[in-house]
Amino acid sequence: MPLKRLAILVIAALLIVMVLGLGYATNREVEMIVRQQSNEQQMLLTRQSAAGIEAFLDEKTVLIEVLATEVVDVPPENMTPYFMTVYNKSIGFSSIGFVSSNGVIVTGYPPEDAAIGLDLYATKRNAQFDRARANKETYTTRPVPLVQGGVGSNIGVPIYSGGEFKGVVFAVIEISTLSARFLADTVPKGHGHTYMITSSGRCLYDGTHRGIISEKYIGLFCENNSSYADVLRDQMPGDEGVGYYFDENTGKRMVVTYTPVVWRGRIWSVATTVPESEAEVLVRSVYRKQILFVTIVIAIILAGSGGIVLILSRWNRDLEKEVVRKTNDLGMSNMELASANTRLKELDRLKSEFVSMVSHELKTPLTSMKISMDVLKSLSGSEKDADTENEMFQIIDRSVERQNRLVGDLLDISRIETGNLKLNLEPVDLYEIILESTESMKKIADEQGIPIHIDLDCESIQITGDHDRLVQVFVNLIENALKFTEKGKIHIQARTVDGHPEIRVSDTGIGIPPGELDLIFDKFHQVDSGLTREVGGTGLGLAICKGIIEGHGGRIRAESKVGEGSTFVIVL
């Protein structure tokens, strides 16, 4: 009996230690979950504020664009009633005015805020005005101090009548209106504050430090090597995330959630900052409940029957181990079976797609060549027509070229999949590659009436790469854009982002459904649409592009909205 009692005491002590250990581990998990949920809730508030600001700015931009269409044929001296109506029936505008074609503000409302008579060229403020004249597109400006106080950003809409440039309708949006409407009440007073900065780190709004508005945080409000400066630098590129810093004024560790506001090419960042102790209050409340629960469990263990606990515990442990083992074995078997089944289905699908594609792509040019040869044979010596012969030979030549491209694509995709794609890496100019690719497609683009715009932020970018393969990639992307764009334009933008070249090839075509974005780089995959069936293709082009770019150590992705166009982004 003494031995049995000792065994019961030992088992009870072990169970108590296990409960305490599990309680401690659970407390750590609960603390992590509570902090995570607190951060997610804070991020949700931040996103709501950012979404409200974006919607407000887009609404005002569209309003000014509509206003510009209404006054396109109205003389400048008669525009003021239109401006007055929009100004009085809408909030957020500091002033609305019109800049004539020679760059002078000739009218506006309210007159005292519209800077009537200001010559943009004389004051060297004509950069955006000239860009609007050249591109015929709405522009926005970075926030600047306003004459009447505060900070504001300009919207400019160019006006053309009968192809003649008349001027620009502009409006100034007060940032203070955005702040009061979307940021002021995001965080309850005394529990944190909200602020908004530009991509250069200038303050547009700060719920606590009003004197820093339009100034840079780093260097004025915080030191360059401070933890707060690190958070600000993470915000400025327009990323979304969570950061921590130490507030030297209050001595508290702060949690910052930040998300971007994107408006017509302008990127700002909205952030909400609260003391980390806000989450600790919830954690301590949960701790108290868990301690009470652990105490009750220990009391039950001490009061329970040692013998029953010993028998049941041993039986339960053995049973649980057996169940876990059997479950794991069954799960692994199911996973292996499902994986094998998936591979077989994928191989069967690829085989079917390959046979169907090759049959169609070979049959079409062969049929064209056969018909052309029959036509040539049917013409007698005296009936031969030089134009007809030339046309038949052109059809045969195009068909041979189509078959040659199919064979080339199949060889390329085979080399990529087997790892045998050889790249001739050497120093090359990325801009020369883009310009060469664009020039090779210019004739086709001109025939379709689709302009190709190139936006390069400097004269050259030197990289190490295979010149011919990179040209192949950009020609393929431009060709795809021309295939699926019936009207509009193609825009190629190259810039350096975080030290890496980034190239964006955009079109205004039919777009790609969201469910297809992750599949379009698979070989033989084609988006199912009427236009796709009309233009044809092997479905290998994007898979080859991906293999070439990844062979350079880069990556490629697609962004798209159905009916608005697609953008392919390459980062080298």
pLDDT (tens digit, 0 to 9) for every residue of the chain, 572 residues total? Answer: 667 767 777 787 787 788 777 777 777 777 778 778 888 888 999 999 999 999 999 999 999 999 999 999 999 999 999 999 999 998 889 899 999 999 999 999 999 888 899 999 999 988 989 999 998 999 998 888 776 677 889 999 999 988 899 999 999 998 888 888 888 888 887 788 899 999 999 998 888 887 888 888 888 888 888 899 999 999 999 999 999 998 877 778 889 999 999 998 889 999 999 988 876 666 666 666 667 777 787 778 777 755 665 665 676 677 788 888 888 888 888 888 888 788 777 656 765 665 555 655 566 667 777 777 777 777 755 456 777 778 777 778 777 766 766 776 677 777 777 777 888 899 999 999 999 999 988 988 998 999 999 988 777 888 999 998 899 899 999 998 998 888 889 999 999 988 899 999 999 988 888 888 888 887 776 665 444 444 456 678 888 889 999 989 999 999 999 888 999 999 99
Q: 79 Cβ partners below 8 Å, 6+ apart?
A: 71, 98, 107
Structure tokens at 465: 């790469």
User: For residue 327, what are its two tokens?
Assistant: 């479950």
- Which of these, 253, 251, 270, lies nearest to 261 by C-alpha position? 270
Tokens matching residue 390: 């030339």
Which residues of the chain are in CATH 3.30.565.10 domains? 426-571
CB 438 within 8 A of CB 492: yes
Which residue(s) pair with 463 in the sheet?
A: 428
Burial group, residue 50, by CB count within 10 angstroms (0-12, 13-18, 19+)? buried
pLDDT of residue 62: 94
Classify residue 16 as exposed, middle or buried by CB count within 10 Å of its CB (0-12, 13-18, 19+).
middle
- Residue 273, amino acid: T
Residue 453 is predicted with a pLDDT of 92
What are the two backbone dihedrals, phi and then psi, of residue 384, each rounded to the nearest 5 degrees? -60, 130
CB distance 119 to 107 below 8 Å: no
Q: Are strands 151-161 and 144-145 parallel, antiparallel or unpaired?
A: antiparallel
Cis check for the bond before 513: say yes or no (omega within 30 of 0).
Answer: no
Whole-angstrom Cα distance, residue 540 to residue 33?
45
Token code pair at residue 277: 């102790």
Q: Superfamily assignment of 186-278 in CATH?
A: PAS domain (3.30.450.20)
Which homologous superfamily is 426-571 in?
Answer: Histidine kinase-like ATPase, C-terminal domain (3.30.565.10)
- Taking the C-alpha atoms of residue 98 and residue 107, their distance in angstroms, rounded to an integer, is 6
Instruction: Measure the CA–CA gap between 382 and 378, rounded to whole angstroms.
Output: 11
What pLDDT sits at residue 452? 92
Least Cα distance to 157 among 173, 143, 140 occurs for: 140
CATH topology of domain 356-418: Helix Hairpins (1.10.287)
CATH 1.10.287 residue ranges of the chain are 356-418
Cβ atoms of 379 and 388 closer than 8 Å: yes
**What was the pLDDT predicted at 531?**
47
Give the Cα separation of 189 and 175 in Å (integer): 21
- CA distance linking residue 348 with residue 524, whole number of Å: 13
CA 488 to chain centre: 22
pTM over 0.85: no
19: Cβ–Cβ under 8 A, 6 or more apart, which residues? 294, 297, 298, 301
Q: What is the pLDDT of residue 243?
A: 92
- All CATH 3.30.450.20 domain ranges of the chain, comma separated, are 186-278
